[in-house]
């Protein structure tokens, strides 16, 4: 990477001092595609644990209680009269409770459970492969971005040197023209050369800005912070 160079772009060009692997290590911790692939592996591992649990006996327990009341439910009094049984008395007399305890042993569904386990294991391997592919692509993209940024910086520096030389040539041409040593066409050519050199500087600078923004994107930073 670029080291010990005098930078002339008033931007976050310090990212050029970072090694691609260093940028990758930071990007791997927070980049969406990598984090998503890792979470999918964790989810697949949970699915495997759930599939394995289907091979074990299951103990079920439940309990319930209830009562009822009816406005047509009557009772006989000691004096022979008949009246509707009071609400509280009905609830007490009709109160019931039940407890259920069951044990299920997976005998006939053992094959389907084992097939589910195989599918869960295959899902884990697929997600691990996809995670490796996501990390490999991220590493390749970062190395490519670093190389392009380095090339853009070198192009920018060369264009600045070319512009300085063109400006020096224009200054000499202007002085020689003023002394009548060269015709106007030579001065015009020197001016055109200087103009094109400055245009190349502007173009290469904005290209460098974009390349630096790409690197900062992988770092999760704002270029102009």
Residue-wise pLDDT tens digits, 80-125: 677 777 767 767 777 788 888 776 776 666 677 788 888 889 999 9
If you count DSSP H runs as helices and E runs as strands, how many of each does the chain have, helices first? 5, 4
Count of CA atoms in the C-beta half-sphere (13 A) of 87: 0
φ and ψ of 76, to 5 deg: -95, 135
pTM here is 0.64
* Below-50 pLDDT ranges, the chain: 1-10, 223-225
Residue 213: the pLDDT is 86
Residue-wise pLDDT tens digits, 148-166: 998 998 899 999 999 999 9
Q: Cα–Cα distance between 139 and 147 in angstroms, integer?
A: 12
Residue 178: the pLDDT is 87
């Amino acid at each position: 990477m670029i080291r010990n160079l005098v930078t002339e772009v008033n931007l976050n060009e310090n990212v050029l001092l970072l090694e691609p692997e260093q940028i990758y290590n930071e990007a791997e911790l927070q980049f969406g595609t990598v984090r998503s692939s890792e979470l999918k592996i964790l989810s697949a591992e949970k699915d495997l644990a759930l599939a394995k649990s289907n091979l074990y006996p299951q103990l079920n327990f439940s309990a319930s209680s209830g009562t009822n009341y009816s406005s047509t439910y009557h009772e006989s009094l000691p004096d022979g009269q008949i009246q509707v049984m009071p609400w509280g008395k009905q609830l007490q007399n009709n109160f019931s409770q039940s407890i259920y305890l069951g044990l299920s042993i997976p005998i006939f569904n053992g094959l389907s459970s084992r097939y589910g386990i195989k599918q869960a294991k295959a899902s884990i391997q697929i997600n691990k492969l996809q995670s490796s592919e996501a990390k490999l692509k991220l590493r390749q993209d970062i190395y490519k971005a670093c190389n392009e940024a380095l090339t853009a910086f070198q192009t920018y520096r060369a264009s600045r040197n070319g512009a300085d030389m063109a400006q020096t040539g224009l200054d000499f041409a202007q002085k020689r023209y003023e002394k009548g040593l060269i015709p106007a066409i030579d001065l015009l050519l020197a001016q055109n050369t200087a103009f094109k050199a400055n245009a190349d500087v502007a173009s290469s600078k904005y290209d460098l800005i974009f390349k630096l923004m790409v690197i900062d994107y992988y770092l999760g930073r704002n270029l102009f912070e």
